[in-house]
Chains A and B, each alone.
Chain A
Amino acid sequence: MDTDTLALPRTHYLNAEYGITSWLLTTDHKRIGLLFLAAITFFFVIGGIFAGLIRLELLTPAGDLVGDDTYNKLFTMHGIVMIFLFLIPSIPAVLGNFLVPIMVGARDLAFPRLNLMSWYIFMIGAVVTTGAIVLGGVDTGWTFYTPFSTHASQSNVLMAGVGIFIIGFSSILTGLNFIVTIHTMRAPGMTWFRMPLFLWSIYATSLINVLGTPVLAITLVAVVLERAMHLGIFDPAYGGDPVLFQHLFWFYSHPAVYIMILPSMGVVSELIAAFSRKNIFGYTFVAFSSLAIAIFGFLVWGHHMFVAGMSVYGAMIFSVLSFLVAVPSAIKVFNWTATLYKGSISFQTPMLYALGFIGLFTIGGLTGLFLATLGVDVHVTDTYFVVAHFHYIMVGGAIMGYMGGMHYWWPKITGRMYPDLWGKISAVTIFLGFNLTFFPQFVLGYMGMPRRYHAYPDEFQALNVLSTAGASILGVGYLIPACYLLWSLKYGAVAGRNPWGAIGLEWTTTSPPPTFNFDSTPVVTTPAYAYDVIKPREPERA
């Protein structure tokens, strides 16, 4: 298999059809994955520009670069764009779309046309949300807390709410498609416990999408109705309760954190196995911990509200449940680390991202314990400690996993390799830039700097300068891959079927794969990651 495949296949999913309509009307899951890739990359750039402006403003204590209303809109729109238009769709809609059918050994998802509709719904929602931004912006914070969002804000809350409401249906339909595909379309021999761990994590994520997103939809409808018609659901003057909104919002938005991180955990399981050439230590524990996170994740929303006037007993229940949800994450980290034992470890670009993920996710997870601990949460909640914590999870975790996954499957998607040296440089730059940006924010939070502050007292400046310096390094770190990945499309070395010498059905087909993925339906006879049985080899390169 080494020598016969180092040429691009004559026909594959990218050149099977030409023309703009062949893309806009495609039902090929791989092409739809690329449609999502184009959309979310655009929004990642937009969200990143907002982030850059925020960090520039915070370089000095005075609110001098932009006005206060503008600043408030910047952090709101940074949050909305990054969460709803980038992170939530990122791995599931791009890599999940591309890989789920191939990994189960199928020709496509269970509902290919529904999959295309999912992209159109996402785009309609994205256009409406972008419209809210272009037509003046939103200033409520991505959390839309009432009564600020329903009574006080003068910005485009209605339009943004409608946009996010629409996007939610895209999440639900994609999740439904994955669940049905994994249940019904696995190839002969692909039993549940032979599935790659990426599929387990996508399955768990899809469960959250299907069960949680409707609650967000209901909440947004309630906000829109309250704002437009003054129903009084959240308004104490009419007997409503503003804290009710927080319960409803976090009932979705805490599980949404797992929607963002679980797919990355799945990617990292694939990368650690592939670049250690070894079975994952404790496969069943890693697989079930994904489901445990999805289930427990629905029971901990109250830990966002410990200082919002909650009863001490309510707070204790949410606190202890939050510690329980930390256990499956710990299990994953220990199993990944143990997988290295007796491996044959190669430090190519995707592996660097995966190891970076483990380090940053560990810090993000452990600092989550500070927030679950009632007595400490009272001090650090709503400060930069929280900002640092969730960026360690979402950027250090979710985006590192996404970048690792993109670098791992890029040869499969495009048929070409990128320069590994530049890949390593990008991974290290992002890791260092990230830590310099966000580690000082833990200290800022402990010192008491509240989040969402446009101006701040002088004593917080030194750490803010460090953070802004880190952000500029981080920005460069993300630009490097944009350059060499684009370069590789034309000039990259031809990848061949299995450039990493990895195991998985996706590496048995051509790169790029044919439209229907396999020439004949594969038959699976071994567990995932059976490197001792299959002993794959990567192609020899000059």
Chain B
Amino acid sequence: MAGQVDALYFFLLAVSAFFVILIATLIVVLGVRYRRRAHGDVGAKVVPALSLEIAWTVIPLVLGLVMFAWGANVYFAQAQPPAETLDIYVTGKQWMWKFQHLDGQREINELHVPAGRAVRVTGTSEDVIHSFFIPAFRVKADVLPGRYTTMWFNATKPGRYHIFCAEYCGTRHSGMIGTIVVMDPTEYQAWLSGGAAEGSLASQGQKLFQDLACITCHRSDGQGRGPNLEGVFGSRIELNGGATVTADEAYVRESILSPSAKVTAGFQPIMPTFQGLVSEEQLIALVEYVKSLKGRPAQAPPTQHEGPAAGEATPARPPAGNQPRQPSPGK
């Protein structure tokens, strides 16, 4: 990817150099040739040639469109990670980068990745806008509060490279820098097996799912007051009101923080918001847990309705007679 960006960059540089030299040469040559020779001389009236005007309108236009098409092509490749990626989460915060690996490792201002493997970074911010920038890989993506952005790269050479914050974020903006350590795949495996105290990211999420009592409503048997989350990630969800949405990271995040914004068809907007109760990093763990349920087929609901588990932990209990109707499986 860096090679593609550089090739395009040097194409632009060559075109620019050509025109700068052309204009400079013309100015010097015409300036010398037509310098004023006698006091009071005036220039000859020149009738502009329409063909010239058309030429220097069309040529820049065509060159511009070539640059546009080439640039858009590279941008598409930058925006679309391959199907198989190693996923990393990053959270920007004044003034540090916090990383979470799927295996549960956490790092601050240092990120270990294997060489030769596509790495997809999903990022968000706890406070203001930051921008995650790795100049050596020619990639950059803003991380914003309240949403996820992604970028990807494939580091080819082991080594240590700069991570910069490229969007001004306050006092220690220039200190919000880190190092990405690209490792030989075997060394990376050794580094990974150093292990994480808290288990994998999904298992951290599962624990939160229980601690926050999400599980009382989002039951795996389909009998809860909220939808069963197994198999949900990546699928199309039908919403109350008829719209549909793809259950991606952003949708899961939104459903935790603003549950009533997009309610699955057939359910009541009874879930309370978890805004302020979970940190960005906990949200990421929860998202990763929901993601890990993707592979599991949704269980068919049992024939007999058992009702939701009554629990003190249930944050908001709907009034009696307001039970949501049973969701149909697979939606």
B42 touches A358 (CB 8 A): no
Residue of B nearest to A273 (CB): B43
The answer to whether A355 touches B27 (Cβ under 8 A) is yes
Closest to A312 in B: B79
Q: How far is the CB of B43 from chain A (nearest CB, A)?
A: 3
Nearest chain-A residue to B167 (Cβ)? A382
Are B42 and A323 within 8 A (Cβ)?
A: no
With A319-B72, A347-B35, A373-B71 known as contacts, the answer to whether A363 contacts B42 (CB < 8 A) is: no
How many chain B residues touch A (Cβ–Cβ < 8 Å)?
82
* In contact, A319 and B71 (Cβ under 8 angstroms): yes
Number of chain A interface residues as a range: 35 or more
Cβ–Cβ contact A153 & B170, under 8 A: yes
Q: Which chain A residues border B177 with CB–CB below 8 Å?
A: 457
Residues of A within 8 A of B23 (CB): 333, 337, 358-359, 362
Query: Is B196's beta carbon under 8 Å from chain A?
Result: no
| Stretch in A5-13, A118-126, A418-426, A447-455 touching the partner | A447-455
Are B68's CB and A373's CB within 8 A? yes
B175 within 8 Å of A (CB atoms):
yes
A279 CA to B47 CA in the complex, in Å?
A: 9
A236, B65: Cβ atoms closer than 8 Å:
no
Within the complex, which residue of A334, A355, A452 is in contact with B56, where a contact is CB–CB below 8 Å?
A334
- Chain A residue with minimal CB distance to B175? A455
For B35, the chain A residues whose CB sits under 8 A away are 345-347
The smallest beta-carbon distance between A401 and chain B, in angstroms, is 16
Chain A residues with Cβ below 8 Å from B48 are 281-283, 285, 335, 338
When chains A and B are docked, how far (Å) is the Cα of A242 from the Cα of B142? 12
Indicate whether A330 reaches chain B with its CB closer than 8 angstroms. Answer: yes
- Cβ of B166 under 8 Å from chain A: yes
Residue contact B64 to A323, C-beta cutoff 8 Å: yes
A148 at the interface (CB under 8 A from B): yes
Chain B residues 116-158 with CB under 8 Å of chain A are: 127-129, 131, 133, 135-136, 138-142, 144-147, 149
Residues of A near B61 (CB, < 8 A) are 323-324, 327
Bound together, the chains give a CA A453 to CA B166 distance in angstroms of 9
CB-defined contacts of B78 to chain A, threshold 8 Å: 375, 378
Instruction: Specify which of B15, B16, B57, B147 is in contact with A331 (CB 8 Å cutoff).
Output: B57
Q: Which residues of B contact A369 (CB under 8 A)?
A: 12, 15-16, 64, 67
> What does the 1/0 interface line of B27-54 toward A look like (CB < 8 Å)?
1001100111101111111101000110
A-chain residues with CB within 8 Å of residue B27 when the two chains form the complex: 337, 340, 355, 358-359
A312 CA to B80 CA in the complex, in Å?
10
Selected contact of A540 from candidates B20, B39, B169, CB within 8 Å: B39
Shortest beta-carbon distance from A460 to chain B in Å? 10
Q: Across the interface, do B144 and A312 meet the contact criterion of CB distance under 8 Å?
A: no
Number of A-B contacts (CB under 8 A): 282
Residues of A within 8 A of B40 (CB): 501, 535, 537-538
Query: Which of A319, A334, A359, A446 has the largest count of B CB atoms less than 10 A from its CB?
Result: A334
Q: Which residues of B contact A345 (CB under 8 A)?
A: 30-31, 34-36, 43
A19: B residues at CB distance < 8 A: none
Q: Which residue of B lies closest to A283 (CB)?
A: B48
Q: Which of A139-147, A183-191, A219-227, A252-260 contacts B (4 or more CB under 8 A)?
A: A139-147
What are 8 of the A-B contact pairs (CB < 8 Å)? Answer: A152-B169, A277-B36, A279-B43, A309-B141, A309-B149, A338-B48, A375-B71, A455-B175
Q: Which residues of A contact B (CB under 8 A)?
A: 63, 68-69, 72, 139, 141, 143, 145, 147-148, 151-153, 236-237, 239, 241-243, 276-279, 281-283, 285, 306-309, 312, 315-316, 319-320, 323-324, 326-327, 330-331, 333-335, 337-338, 340-347, 355, 358-359, 362-363, 366-367, 369-370, 372-379, 381-383, 446-448, 450-457, 501, 530-532, 535-538, 540
Apart from A242-B129, A331-B60, A335-B48, what 19 extra A-B contacts exist at CB < 8 Å? Answer: A151-B127, A237-B275, A279-B46, A335-B53, A341-B34, A343-B34, A345-B34, A370-B9, A373-B71, A375-B4, A375-B70, A375-B72, A378-B78, A379-B5, A382-B133, A382-B140, A450-B133, A451-B168, A535-B42
Interface residues of B (CB under 8 A from A): 4-5, 8-9, 12, 15-16, 19-20, 23-24, 26-27, 30-31, 34-37, 39-46, 48, 52-53, 56-57, 60-61, 64-65, 67-68, 70-79, 94, 127-129, 131, 133, 135-136, 138-142, 144-147, 149, 162, 164-175, 177, 258, 275
